[in-house]
Chains A and B, each alone.
Chain A
Amino acid sequence: MIEKGWQTSERATRRLKKRYRRERRLKAAGILAIGLALGVLVLLLGSVISRGYPAFVKTEIALEITFDAKLIDPSGSGEAKQLAKGKYGRALRQALFAKFPDVVERAERRNLTQLFSKAARFELREMILDQPDWIGTTQRVWLTAASDVDMLTKGSLPRDVPQAERRLNDQQLAWVDHFEAAGNLRTVFNGGFFTGSDSREPELAGIGGALAGSFWTLLITLVLAFPLGVAAAVYLQEFAPKNRLTDFIEVNINNLAAVPSIVFGLLGLAIFIQLFELPRSTAIVGGLTLMLMTLPTIIIATRAALAAVPPSIREAAHGVGASPVQVVSHHVLPLAMPGIMTGTIIGMARALGETAPLLMIGMVAFIVDIPSAPFDSATALPVQIFLWADSPERGFEEKMSAAIIVLLAFLIIMNALAVILRRRFETRW
């Protein structure tokens, strides 16, 4: 027999205390785990952001350039075609040498011109094409500085090391300081980082091409994977008979979701490039490959969403004589749509960050043109990060971190969208 009043006995009180202690320990372990995860996240974001944000600005140097008609428009026609052929590089050099008349030696002169980006003369050309009336005048214009100067102004290039270990020699440092002291050095927002494409020169490289490549790739993936995935899931969940074959298919879809992505890359290479002979390095092949990878995710998410629709809604629809297709298309599918969208967005976010399969199908090439269609050669944002991480130039380091920031921003936006959709449409019945 159990003694009456045991609940308040000393032994029971001790046991109770012990139980509470255990609960506190469990809570503490949980908080510790979350703290650790948050700490690592902060570390990651902090490191990436602190390294990447300088890439959003660039250094420019102002120079008095004389747009001599003899150099710019020797024929005197003023036609854009002729103006485009002008000798802008020489105009730049002449202006520089005029500014520093005591620099006469060939090597020194070369060092001086190297303070400017190789694109500086194209910038001059753009200016003249925009304002042809500048010909024959002298203008103070801002030109993109070379990557080394850019690094120096941003403090990523140390000054206090022996000259031999420095990218810029003492003379070049003095010139930069001279520009800076005269107010001829500034940092401005680097719009080219978002609109430009890859370049051998770090100060010119941008993620525009990679963004366009990712856009086309994901568009192909979405357009193919969403309808295919939803159709497959609807059939399997709502119409397929339960038998060995459908069990087998189900198990394999679940397995596919866990297959390493590089294997999908090999599959894409073998099927789309070797068998179907689609062009290499293109968004169409990338999209098809990522479609293979995203399909199982979408199918699984859709099936879960369909299964979560309460049976009472199905019964109600059947009860008024809706045909099975009407039950699904009028009731079950609309109710499952938030779940399907959430799963799709998460699948797409995964596809956006995927690198390995794209390496296998040649989207890892150095591509300067911004792809304007799925059949153009393209690369993708994560692959661009991979490429820059591999580059020896110092200037690419911040570009890489900045590209990571952009990629993370897209991923966060997509996941936030999934959360909002889920919140918004949760339990409508």
Chain B
Amino acid sequence: MPLPSKMEISGLDVFYGATQALYDVDMKVAEKRVSALIGPSGCGKSTFLRCLNRMNDIIEGCRVDGDVLLDGNDIYARDLDVVQLRARVGMVFQKPNPFPKSIYDNVAYGPRIHGLTNNAGELDEIVESSLRKAGLYDEVADRMSAPGTSLSGGQQQRLCIARAIAISPEVILMDEPCSALDPIATAKVEELIDELKEDFTIAIVTHNMQQAARVSQYTAFFHLGKLVEFGDTEAIFTNPEEKRTQDYITGRFG
């Protein structure tokens, strides 16, 4: 791969109790590019994504083996602070999950807890610019104090994206961010992802093959807990090396 990679994963095994969810995964996440993770349900792509910011830590009985390097440093190292890690590797979830607080407070929460601003004016700026980047500002500018949960599903998801980028993470993980959205909202979020890759490294899990093809530069195909194929999106979709990949992207199973 020609581009520098932001994250390098090698020999990753994940267990939920006695069941193994991921087998010996090796992958690289390219800097300031969108990497898509595709595969049928239960193939381990979400599990893989959640390993990248140690979100699996909060799941009871989950065990992770192998190396996950962020800028060459092991994120599972003993002395690594997981709060700091999650500030560097943000996340957007499948179901929009704004806090039951105002729109403003949703975006301001991250900067506040990390102490990123010195005064209210700076915080206002960060909130505004984050909402602008998330393409939501014009829709909510006049009701910043309305609850985040009062927005439509697509707006809520963009609010969650604004919340994630408000603390300027280096990597943003997206776990099927459009699966709960209608086609128009999906198009908006996809457009947004395309813009965000200018500033952020993005890894996105998706069920939607067209979406992977549209937004990503690299694609990884998972099946039954194994990384089957990983490479340029164009190559994966036009000329896959593995038969299973071809079967999946042409809709023969999944």
User: Least Cβ distance of A314 to chain B in Å?
Assistant: 7
Q: Which of B75-122 contact A (CB under 8 A)?
A: 83-87, 90-93, 95, 97-100, 109-110, 113-114
Q: Are the C-beta atoms of B90 and A314 separated by less than 8 Å?
A: no
With contact pairs A314-B58, A315-B55 given, residues A321 and B97 touching in the complex (Cβ less than 8 Å): no
User: Least Cβ distance of A324 to chain B in Å?
Assistant: 8
User: Least Cβ distance of B43 to chain A in Å?
Assistant: 21
With contact pairs A313-B99, A326-B113, A335-B100 given, residues A318 and B164 touching in the complex (Cβ less than 8 Å): no
A428 CB-CB contact with B under 8 Å: yes
- The interface residues of chain B lying within 8 Å CB-to-CB of A314 are 58
Q: Which of A301-332 contact B (CB under 8 A)?
A: 310, 312-323, 326, 330-331
With contact pairs A318-B86, A321-B86, A321-B113 given, residues A331 and B164 touching in the complex (Cβ less than 8 Å): no
User: Least Cβ distance of B186 to chain A in Å?
Assistant: 20
Interface of A is mostly: helix
Q: Are the C-beta atoms of B113 and A315 separated by less than 8 Å?
A: no
A81 CB-CB contact with B under 8 Å: no
Closest to A320 in B: B110
Q: Which one of A310, A312, A321, A429 contacts B87 once the chains associate, using CB atoms below 8 Å?
A: A321
- The interface residues of chain B lying within 8 Å CB-to-CB of A313 are 97, 99-100
Q: Are the C-beta atoms of A316 and B113 separated by less than 8 Å?
A: no
* Measured CA separation A321–B167 after assembly (Å): 9
- The interface residues of chain B lying within 8 Å CB-to-CB of A319 are 53, 55, 86, 90-93, 164
- The interface residues of chain A lying within 8 Å CB-to-CB of B160 are 316
* Measured CA separation A322–B160 after assembly (Å): 15
A242 CB-CB contact with B under 8 Å: yes
With contact pairs A315-B97, A316-B98 given, residues A321 and B164 touching in the complex (Cβ less than 8 Å): no
Q: Which of B132-186 contact A (CB under 8 A)?
A: 149, 160, 163-164, 166-167
Q: Are the C-beta atoms of B97 and A320 separated by less than 8 Å?
A: no
Q: Which of A196-242 contact B (CB under 8 A)?
A: 242
- The interface residues of chain B lying within 8 Å CB-to-CB of A318 are 55, 58, 86
User: Least Cβ distance of A408 to chain B in Å?
Assistant: 36
* Measured CA separation A185–B98 after assembly (Å): 70
Q: Which one of A312, A320, A335, A429 contacts B109 once the chains associate, using CB atoms below 8 Å?
A: A320
- The interface residues of chain A lying within 8 Å CB-to-CB of B113 are 320-323, 326, 330
User: Least Cβ distance of B205 to chain A in Å?
Assistant: 14
Q: Which one of B58, B86, B90, B149 contacts A429 once the chains associate, using CB atoms below 8 Å?
A: B149
Q: Are the C-beta atoms of B163 and A312 separated by less than 8 Å?
A: no
* Measured CA separation A320–B113 after assembly (Å): 9
- The interface residues of chain A lying within 8 Å CB-to-CB of B58 are 314-315, 318
Once A and B bind, how many residue pairs between them come within 8 Å at the CB atom? Answer: 67
Interface range for B: 20 to 34
Closest to B93 in A: A315
- The interface residues of chain A lying within 8 Å CB-to-CB of B98 are 316
* Measured CA separation A323–B149 after assembly (Å): 23
Q: Are the C-beta atoms of A321 and B99 separated by less than 8 Å?
A: no
Q: Are the C-beta atoms of A320 and B164 separated by less than 8 Å?
A: yes
User: Least Cβ distance of B187 to chain A in Å?
Assistant: 24
Closest to B107 in A: A320
- The interface residues of chain B lying within 8 Å CB-to-CB of A242 are 60
Q: Are the C-beta atoms of B55 and A321 separated by less than 8 Å?
A: no
Most buried by B among A312, A321, A331: A321
- The interface residues of chain B lying within 8 Å CB-to-CB of A428 are 100, 149
* Measured CA separation A317–B163 after assembly (Å): 10
* Measured CA separation A331–B99 after assembly (Å): 8
Q: Are the C-beta atoms of A312 and B55 separated by less than 8 Å?
A: no
Interface string of A274-314 (1 = CB under 8 A from B): 00000000000000000000000000000000000010111
Most buried by A among B87, B93, B113: B113
Closest to B110 in A: A320
* Measured CA separation A191–B247 after assembly (Å): 87
- The interface residues of chain A lying within 8 Å CB-to-CB of B85 are 321
- The interface residues of chain A lying within 8 Å CB-to-CB of B114 are 321
With contact pairs A318-B86, A320-B90, A321-B86 given, residues A312 and B97 touching in the complex (Cβ less than 8 Å): yes
Q: Are the C-beta atoms of B93 and A316 separated by less than 8 Å?
A: yes
- The interface residues of chain A lying within 8 Å CB-to-CB of B110 are 320-321
With contact pairs A314-B58, A320-B167 given, residues A429 and B53 touching in the complex (Cβ less than 8 Å): no
User: Least Cβ distance of B63 to chain A in Å?
Assistant: 14
User: Least Cβ distance of A305 to chain B in Å?
Assistant: 15
Q: Are the C-beta atoms of A321 and B84 separated by less than 8 Å?
A: yes
User: Least Cβ distance of A425 to chain B in Å?
Assistant: 10
* Measured CA separation A428–B164 after assembly (Å): 22
* Measured CA separation A429–B149 after assembly (Å): 7
* Measured CA separation A429–B100 after assembly (Å): 6
Q: Are the C-beta atoms of B99 and A316 separated by less than 8 Å?
A: yes
- The interface residues of chain B lying within 8 Å CB-to-CB of A310 are 97
- The interface residues of chain A lying within 8 Å CB-to-CB of B91 are 315, 319
Closest to A311 in B: B58
Q: Are the C-beta atoms of B100 and A320 separated by less than 8 Å?
A: no
With contact pairs A242-B60, A326-B113 given, residues A320 and B95 touching in the complex (Cβ less than 8 Å): no
With A313-B100, A322-B113 given, name 8 new contacts (CB 8 A): A310-B97, A312-B97, A315-B93, A317-B109, A319-B55, A319-B91, A330-B113, A428-B149
Question: Which residues of B line the A interface, CB within 8 A?
Answer: 53, 55, 58, 60, 83-87, 90-93, 95, 97-100, 109-110, 113-114, 149, 160, 163-164, 166-167
Can you list 20 A-B pairs, Cβ within 8 angstroms, ordered by A?
A: A242-B60, A310-B97, A312-B95, A312-B97, A313-B97, A313-B100, A316-B99, A316-B163, A319-B91, A320-B90, A320-B113, A320-B164, A320-B166, A321-B83, A321-B87, A321-B90, A321-B113, A322-B109, A323-B83, A323-B113
Across chains A and B, which 3 residue pairs bring their CB atoms closest together, nearest first? A321-B87, A312-B97, A319-B91
Question: Which residues of A line the B interface, CB within 8 A?
Answer: 242, 310, 312-323, 326, 330-331, 335, 428-429
